[in-house]
């Protein structure tokens, strides 16, 4: 289910901001497919030339750092970690929680060293490690828009390392991207938010059930509890 929810939001972003499907439809005198009139009115009906080719009229081409600002994460030696509720983000994704956070959620993280190309949306307050870059400022973007626009970037082209893949944020900041008016960013955010929230809800529920399973299985095998009791506890947590 989570893959489907993610794919739906990704497809919407691509349709609106990469393929410009609503603009193409209006340019041909058609109503954008599956779109309400209020949202359709936010899209122009013509294209204009730009350094990146034809883009919707009234949209801009800007360096990425005018849209969002990336910042290197923070050191956190293993010896200093204290188990807690705040996700610790590394280049390959989320690790065990820590007792403190450095960034308020929601946030967006990508790999800076070791693993390049992954982009993660973080709902909670979190601690990004120094192997990551995190979005410090959402200038012309909002968190979910920033997440999907970064997912369109081929970060491996900016690899500045030799033995270990490494990303220089200044190189990424100079990337030119197409930027829609803020009203469309707001509208996309409102459409994508429920999908990403449901994904996180499913992840947390799955984690809870796995934890409960690990607690109950030894007791079940030892005969301390019966199958019906275990099933009841699992059902109560679902």
The closest alpha carbon to 17, from 171, 158, 196, 150, belongs to: 150
> Residue 83 and residue 88: Cα distance in Å, rounded?
10
- What's the DSSP call for residue 81? -
For 110-164, how does the pLDDT look when each residue is reduced to its tens digit (9 = 90+)?
A: 999 999 999 999 999 999 999 999 999 999 999 999 999 999 999 989 998 778 8
Q: Say what the pLDDT of residue 218 is.
A: 74
| HSE-up (13 A, CA, CB side) for residue 91 | 16
For 29-87, how does the pLDDT look when each residue is reduced to its tens digit (9 = 90+)?
A: 999 999 999 999 999 999 999 999 999 999 999 999 999 999 999 999 999 999 999 99
Three-class secondary structure of residue 119 per DSSP: strand
Q: Say what the pLDDT of residue 200 is.
A: 75
β-partners of residue 132 are: 111
For 149-204, how does the pLDDT look when each residue is reduced to its tens digit (9 = 90+)?
A: 999 999 989 998 778 899 999 999 999 999 999 999 999 999 999 989 888 787 76
For 163-190, letters b (16+ CB in 10 Å) and e give eebbbebeebeebebbbbbeebbebbbe
């Amino acid at each position: 289910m989570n893959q489907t929810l993610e794919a739906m939001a990704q497809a919407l972003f691509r349709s609106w901001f990469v393929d410009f499907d609503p603009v193409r439809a209006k340019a041909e005198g058609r109503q954008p497919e599956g779109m309400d009139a209020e949202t359709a009115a936010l899209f122009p009906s013509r294209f204009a030339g730009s350094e990146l080719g034809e883009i919707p009229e009234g949209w801009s081409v800007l360096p990425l750092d005018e849209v969002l600002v990336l910042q290197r994460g923070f050191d956190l030696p293993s010896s200093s970690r204290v188990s807690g509720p705040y996700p610790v983000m590394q280049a390959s994704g989320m690790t065990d929680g820590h007792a403190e956070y450095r960034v308020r959620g929601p946030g967006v993280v990508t790999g800076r060293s070791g693993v390049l190309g992954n982009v993660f949306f973080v709902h909670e307050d979190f601690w990004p490690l120094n192997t990551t870059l995190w979005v410090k400022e959402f200038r012309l973007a909002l968190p979910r828009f920033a997440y999907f626009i970064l997912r369109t970037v081929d970060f491996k082209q900016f690899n500045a390392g030799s033995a270990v893949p490494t990303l220089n944020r200044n190189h990424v900041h100079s990337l030119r991207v197409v930027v829609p008016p803020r009203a469309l960013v707001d509208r996309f955010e409102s459409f994508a938010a429920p999908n990403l929230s449901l994904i996180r809800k499913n992840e947390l529920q799955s984690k809870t059930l796995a934890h409960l399973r690990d607690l109950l299985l030894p007791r079940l095998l030892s005969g301390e509890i019966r199958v019906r009791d275990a099933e009841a506890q699992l059902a109560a947590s679902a």
